[in-house]
Structure 1
Amino acid sequence: MSELVNVKIDGKPYQFEKGTTILKACKSIGIEIPTLCYLEGIAEEGSCGMCVVEVKGSRTLQRACITEVTEGMEITTNSELVNEARKTNLELALAHHPLDCMTCDKDGDCVLQDLAYQFGIKKSQFLDESDVFVYPKETPWDTNPFIQFDPQKCILCRRCVDACENQAIVEAIGIAMRGYKSVVSTPFNLPLEQTNCQFCAECVQACPTGALIEKPRIGKGKIFNFESTDTICAYCGVGCNVELYKDKNNNLVMARGIDKEPNNGRLCVKGRYGYEYVNSNERLTTPLIKENGVFREATWEEAIDYTAKRLLEIKEKYGPDAIGVLGSARCTNEDNYIVQKFARAVIGTNNIDHCARLCHASTVAGLGKALGAGAATNPIDDIKNADVMFVIGSNTTETHPVIAQFIKENKKKRGAKLIVCDPRNIDLAQYADIFIQHYPGTDVALLNGMMKVIVDNGLIDKEFIENHTEGFEDLLKVLKNYDLDKVSKITGVDKKLIESAAITYAKGPNSMIFYTMGITQHHVGVDNVLSIANLALITGHIGKVGNGIDPLRGQANVQGACDVGALPDVYTGYQKVTDETVRKKFEEFWKVKLPDKVGYAVSQFGDLALDGKLKAVYAMGENPLVTEADVRHVKEGFEKLEFLAVQDIFLSETAQIADVVFPAKAAYEKFGTFTNTERRVQLLKPARTPHPNVKDDWEIVCEVATKMGYPMHYKDAEEIWEEIREVTPSFKGITYKRLKENSLQWPCPDITHPGTKILHYGGNFKRPNSKALITGVEFEPPVEIPDNEYPFVLTTGRILFHYHSRNETRRVKVLESFVPENFVEINPEDAEALNIKDGDNVKVKTRRGEIVVKAKISQKPKKGVVFVSFHFSEANANILTINALDPVARIPEYKACACAIEKI
């Protein structure tokens, strides 16, 4: 129990926990003390002196933000002496500050301005206009498109520096010079873009004046003219709470992080600036029907009638399984529930899939087999309880930047160990205690090698294995063949590093694993995931605080789209379509006969169309003509379809070849729910009024279904969610009413349940015997390995400044201008051998095609490995990738194929 101390504040007695600061103590009893430099947990240095109070017996005023309460302390918060000192300190801060509030973009959004009004200061008594130091006009901040810095408005409170250091965990800026010439700057006065700045703009959000501001916001108006909405970021699967601001013209103009889980106020560059695409004049606003190869505008009624007629004709002529349906991880749970119901109840097929097939299908299958649930076991907040963080196949800083910040923070502030395994020398590797740079596609060998070390050193958790698992003996048989010499040769990694990583992870005492598509996007993706599960299970690092497996989801609602059944083998809550009891339940609820066989995966659609087995596709928010492996082959298949319908917010590459296109609302225009990477169901609210002629995705699908003879009518998204709850045990206790108060993590079986933070707690796994399955997995090399003709390994992935097929981020000016084209990363040794210099145009070739991109000479890729991002349709990496599928998950091997590099 915490020790309490007795304190008097303004003459009244109180008790507080020992160690509480005066500032927090006063705030807890409703006494507001002004602050300028203080941000809880971020900037707590007490430099501005605005929070001073009197403490009886002390010779000087005390700073409330850094002074702790002690037994018998008597505090006065509002005396003449205190107020005079605060006013003086404020005037000192204003001594060199320009008096241009009316023309400043931060007018009405400035802490300094508010305090000046509060204390009645019109002009600082310390201001000598004849001797004001004028900072140089040129600063390291000038050339980047994201952040503007005006040093004349800076009061040197250090909040921006502390936010960069303690919140973003980057340290790109600091205080340069001394005395009145002191200024916030970069190391050696370098341009900001030449530092390790990630442009998350935490510094901007922390700034209490107009010194720092987002450049895209400049000239858009004052904050008191904006309307704000709390919603969820529509980019990656972290699920950041974001406050979006709309101007009088209905344009989104600013974003701020909200201080609650999971992001606790943080945002990344896309969350901060990426809202702009919603305002784009390229948005679809009317249905389109293609005639003689050319689109014409159509009415909603005409487009709905045409689509329903074509789908019914194809269903009648070829059968329901000749039609494929696509949901989307960019759409809400409600949208995806309706589109999978449309596929099954209206068309009569289980050919329903979405982009999880291309990122985390291996997780759903692998963790589902091993643990009974294919989802993250622990909340993001649990990172702070881990003693060891094992990151494999995840460039977390660029794919899940906010989670990377938490990982770095745990290492920096709590001394946790960090192990990073990746074929590229990624940002997180710079912070790692152990960095393993293995060849793409050798993860099983690496993980088996680690497990053999753990077994040989007696570091397994025998009690956990005996009581909570089965199959350990099968694993032991496999591990006999993975001595470190063999593993080192396969992976290209020093065996001492492998041994060190294994021992560090096993000893913990609390260890968590994080992975993304570097693990899943292989023809052995499920094997990779099973190997990760094996590692956690044999060490007992699962089912408790600070121990678990967190697959980090790549898109805002990829977890949710899976959860609500936008997959070919399951209904909502992963209830199997092949289970007769489950199927009958849905038949009774939907009042229709349902198909009993597993449907086709989207990764099979191209081949099926070419073979004539698939005749039509209905795509909601997906863009397979950019995202599919061996995409030219897939395009040939889609062009052979008899009918293609697409609903989207832009005329995507897939929409361009469609027969009919429906205009849909964007995520920031919708009511509904997203489910983030930690199983957290969150309420999405519209921050902008949509064009009057666009519709919710679920509404469009319902209209097509109704026209096809199966009436689907819902008054709003909440009514759809109520139906989802009714058929899904794990969502039963999650209501919109509860979500308005706070988000909830499934499973949540009833309305009194608080939600489940940690899956499999205490070793209780969601399998028939409550025991996890350990599986012996043998290493298989990538399907395509380098040879004389194609001597390099090509791997693909995300970059920080773009998203998925770039449909959204190409319409965000600052993101597009900062990274306007694709590139190939080449190791310096490889580049020298090929006589390639940085910036040269090169041809990247595989057996499937070629692209021309600029060379980026970089220490990131391992020698013999090259990297290309997958965001750019103009130089599409998926022209090169191989459509070799995992036999279980049907996920393509995006992360490893043979390629050649040729200087042009």
Structure 2
Amino acid sequence: MLPNADDPVTQGKCCGKGRLAHIPNDSPERITTPLLKSNGTWHPVTWEEAMAWFSQRVHRWQDKFGPDAVAVYGGGSLTNEVSYLLGKFARVALGTRYIDYNGRYCMSSAAAGANLTLGVDRGLTNPLSDLPLARCILMAGANVADAQPTLMPYLLEAKKRGAFLIVIDPRETPTARIADLHLPIRPGTDAALVNGMLKIIVEHDLVDWSFVRRHTSGWESLLDHIRRVDLSEVVEQTDIPRELIEHAALAYGQASTGFVLTARGVEQHAWGVQNVRNFLNLVLLTGKIGKPGCGYGAITGQGNGQGGREHGQKADQLPGYRLLDDPEARERIARIWGVSPDTLPRSGVSAYEMFDKILADKIRGMIVFGSNPIISSPNAARVESALRRLDWLVVVDFFLTETAQMADLVLPAASYLENEGTITNLEGRVLLRRAVRPAPGQAKPDWETIMEMARALGKGEWFRYQSAEDIFRELAEASRGGKADYSGMTYGRIEQSQGLFWPCTHERPEGTPRLFEDGRFGHPDGKARLVPVHAPTSNWREEDEWPLTLTTGRIIHHYLSGTLTRRTPALMEKSPVPYLEMHPETAQQLGLSDGQPARVTSPVSSIVLTVKITERIRPDTVFAPFHWEGEQSINRLIPAKLDPTSRMPAFKIVRVRVEPVKEQPQSRQQEPVLVS
């Protein structure tokens, strides 16, 4: 497949994963008919049989245990239409409060931090075309060269125009290698580093006082906090020399234009929201926002990570980024849906906390839609135990993923080639993706599957759509007046414009490529919120039992849980198994050599990985990718420590010990599944 040379975002460029993304669509492993498990064996059934089974299970368990006995677990790669419909299905057809999605593991801390500070959460406050206009770009916790390669041309163009690039990362990643300044920070000390930078900016009078006084609140408390910051303590915490901290602070503070980009390395912590808020303090105190070449961005990790959280998949949200517990929002959405607001359930819990509810017998049945939580969740073995405890599990997917193999009923889904609808990229640009072929066999587009389930439950009158475009019209109206307002969009206008930025209204039909140009933020008083951030001190200190810090992430040949990339031979040939990256000094101390198996143990579990020695990582840190399953799943080692605000798990900093083992680990191939 050839990328679109006229695309305003990718400009005809495509990464290796993208060039090969069509291959799994024709895999012989694809599910093309509903599968029902009986005595441990899969049996093909008709949709009518599948829906009869589904209806009987939902009604029986909800009659016995109440509507909240059934939960919905969504995905960040679903279209806006499906995300919207899934939220409506949970609240109208099921009447359950328990719905959340895997974006909770990816973008929730950035979303919460942006909402608290800026009053609105859109991945980037500016279009990507603004990046080359920045004279300084600070990128923290992001390795776009491997994870989002199509962003690299923007960075390279910015450097070509003279931009100074700062990369904050404990590893010397391919992204860090193009930086003008790489800060190999001790994992988990981002907030401390930013406090040090803020102190230098204040001491050198690089604060944009006119902007701060007119457009922010809380700056007095922030300045009091900054003045008490001890730079020697920042150096000790971060393990970054003072002169490098000063270099970074002055480069950003003195630049006429600047951009701050964060990603999972900043956000996936038990204090991720505070990390994000401190980077936003840096943006706001220097006034670098709402102008060409000036802004902030949280780099999205999933195909529709932005749109997926705007229209109702999250536990506390209604369409348009409204809050479920807001009486006015409930009234408006209930009117559009044709139900009483009193019938809408209240907020539920976050994605991981739903598994706690299963183990407490509060949730008895679950529908998983386009996600693979056994691999993507922290403390993955506990999540697997929770799924086994369910009375029944339904999975909608196009492969028998590790999660689907545990299901009682699997419904065949359409792939991206067969699923028409819109997605919202990290810029807040809504794009239309046309279906280019029909789904194979009895597989259905996701929105049709939701309609089938609603009809089976006797709720079909609230789900009468003829196309994805029908759903989008309702979504656009439901979003009217919300923070993520799509009301001025239609399929025709999106396609003609090659994407429209929200908010896009009838009054502003051209959309809003750059937020905050008028100096007004999303809070009622129009001001952004500055807040002191107290850096945690206990996370980085060495412990005798757990002397190393494990951090995790993507590699260039794989994506998320690996459901697609592990079924792409060319990618598996290049990266067949995971590994444990460590510094040669560390390996020598532990008696390990390159290619040798090592046992990695955390407070919750232990797995064996092959050692990969490199000088491009801190000696106190080890790294492993998270794309594999079973005994190769690094997420089995991740404790379920959650940010108190976003409920984001702390994937990026886990205390571990590493020891040699005698036997070379075998590469586990996915077991074939026989369908009779």
> TM-score, normalising length from structure 2?
0.94
Quick one: distance in 1 between partners of 2:184 and 2:150? 23
Any idea what the Cα deviations from partners look like across 1:501-545, whole Å, max 9, x if unmatched?
111111111000111101110000110111111110100011111
Partner of 1:399: 147
- 2:431 paired with 1:682: yes
Quick one: distance in 1 between partners of 2:4 and 2:23? 16
- 2:382 paired with 1:627: no
> TM-score, normalising length from structure 1?
0.71
Of 717, 724, 742, which residue of structure 1 is paired with 2:468?
717
**Which residue identity does 2:566 align to in structure 1?**
R
- 2:590 paired with 1:839: no
Partner of 2:488: 733
1:199-214 to structure 2, matched below 5 A, reads: none
Quick one: distance in 2 between partners of 1:320 and 1:258? 49
- 2:421 paired with 1:672: yes
SS at match of 1:629: coil
SS at match of 1:391: strand
Partner of 2:257: 510
SS at match of 1:330: coil
1:32-71 to structure 2, matched below 5 A, reads: none
**CA apart distance, 1:784:** 8.5
**CA apart distance, 1:738:** 0.8
- 2:28 paired with 1:277: no
SS at match of 1:404: helix
- 2:454 paired with 1:699: no
Partner of 2:91: 344
Of 437, 457, 465, which residue of structure 1 is paired with 2:212?
465
Partner of 2:54: 307
- 2:242 paired with 1:495: yes
Quick one: distance in 2 between partners of 1:762 and 1:508? 22
Partner of 1:387: 135
SS at match of 2:20: helix
**CA apart distance, 1:490:** 0.5
Any idea what the Cα deviations from partners look like across 1:633-676, whole Å, max 9, x if unmatched?
11111111112111001001111111111000001112111111
**Which residue identity does 1:721 align to in structure 2?**
F
Q: 1:719 to 1:751 in 2, by over 3 A?
A: farther
Q: Is the 8 A contact 1:845 1:880 kept in 2?
A: yes
Q: Is the 8 A contact 2:310 2:319 kept in 1?
A: yes
Partner of 1:649: 398
SS at match of 2:11: coil
1:11-50 to structure 2, matched below 5 A, reads: none
| Contiguous gaps of at least 5 residues in structure 1 | 1-253
**Which residue identity does 2:634 align to in structure 1?**
A
Partner of 1:823: 579
**CA apart distance, 1:292:** 2.1
How many residues are aligned here? 650
SS at match of 1:644: strand
Q: 1:813 to 1:688 in 2, by over 3 A?
A: farther
- 2:658 paired with 1:901: yes
- 2:657 paired with 1:885: no
Of 144, 157, 181, which residue of structure 2 is paired with 1:409?
157
Quick one: distance in 2 between partners of 1:781 and 1:733? 47
Q: Is the 8 A contact 1:669 1:686 kept in 2?
A: yes
- 2:270 paired with 1:523: yes
- Highest CA radius of gyration, 1 or 2? 1
Quick one: distance in 1 between partners of 2:86 and 2:428? 21
**CA apart distance, 1:294:** 2.4
**CA apart distance, 1:326:** 1.7
Quick one: distance in 2 between partners of 1:274 and 1:829? 39
**CA apart distance, 1:687:** 3.1
Any idea what the Cα deviations from partners look like across 1:337-371, whole Å, max 9, x if unmatched?
11110111111123221111001101111101100
**Which residue identity does 2:477 align to in structure 1?**
E
Q: 1:706 to 1:786 in 2, by over 3 A?
A: farther
Q: Is the 8 A contact 2:188 2:540 kept in 1?
A: no
- 2:125 paired with 1:377: yes
Partner of 1:753: 509
- 2:609 paired with 1:853: yes
**Which residue identity does 2:464 align to in structure 1?**
H
- 2:550 paired with 1:794: yes
CA RMSD of superposed structures (Å): 1.4
Where relative contact order (Cα < 8 A, 6+ residues apart) is larger, the structure is: 2
Partner of 2:665: none
**CA apart distance, 1:256:** 3.0
**CA apart distance, 1:837:** 1.2
Partner of 1:477: 224
Partner of 1:872: 628
**Which residue identity does 1:408 align to in structure 2?**
L
Quick one: distance in 1 between partners of 2:54 and 2:100? 20
More moved, 704-713 vs 545-554? 704-713
**CA apart distance, 1:689:** 3.2
Q: Is the 8 A contact 1:649 1:665 kept in 2?
A: yes
**CA apart distance, 1:327:** 1.8
**CA apart distance, 1:322:** 2.5
**Which residue identity does 1:715 align to in structure 2?**
Q
Q: Is the 8 A contact 2:439 2:445 kept in 1?
A: no
Quick one: distance in 2 between partners of 1:669 and 1:592? 32
**Which residue identity does 1:388 align to in structure 2?**
C
More moved, 715-724 vs 632-641? 632-641
Q: Is the 8 A contact 2:189 2:540 kept in 1?
A: no
- 2:393 paired with 1:638: no
Partner of 2:71: 324
**CA apart distance, 1:860:** 2.2
Quick one: distance in 2 between partners of 1:421 and 1:284? 42
Quick one: distance in 1 between partners of 2:368 and 2:439? 21
Q: Is the 8 A contact 1:340 1:352 kept in 2?
A: yes
Any idea what the Cα deviations from partners look like across 1:78-102, whole Å, max 9, x if unmatched?
xxxxxxxxxxxxxxxxxxxxxxxxx
**Which residue identity does 2:395 align to in structure 1?**
V
Q: 1:782 to 1:819 in 2, by over 3 A?
A: farther
**Which residue identity does 2:167 align to in structure 1?**
V
**CA apart distance, 1:257:** 4.1
| Contiguous gaps of at least 5 residues in structure 2 | 662-676
- 2:307 paired with 1:560: yes
Partner of 2:188: 441
**CA apart distance, 1:321:** 2.2
Any idea what the Cα deviations from partners look like across 1:853-895, whole Å, max 9, x if unmatched?
1110012221110000000114001011111000111110000
SS at match of 1:882: coil
Q: 1:401 to 1:733 in 2, by over 3 A?
A: same
Partner of 2:669: none
Q: Is the 8 A contact 2:90 2:99 kept in 1?
A: yes
Quick one: distance in 1 between partners of 2:309 and 2:382? 26
SS at match of 2:13: coil
**Which residue identity does 1:821 align to in structure 2?**
V
Q: Is the 8 A contact 1:287 1:297 kept in 2?
A: yes
SS at match of 1:761: coil
**Which residue identity does 1:736 align to in structure 2?**
Y
**CA apart distance, 1:382:** 0.9
**CA apart distance, 1:782:** 6.3
Q: Is the 8 A contact 1:782 1:896 kept in 2?
A: no
**CA apart distance, 1:752:** 5.8
**Which residue identity does 1:737 align to in structure 2?**
G
Q: Is the 8 A contact 2:9 2:128 kept in 1?
A: yes
Of 356, 360, 368, which residue of structure 2 is paired with 1:611?
360
Quick one: distance in 2 between partners of 1:789 and 1:334? 49
Quick one: distance in 2 between partners of 1:782 and 1:423? 18
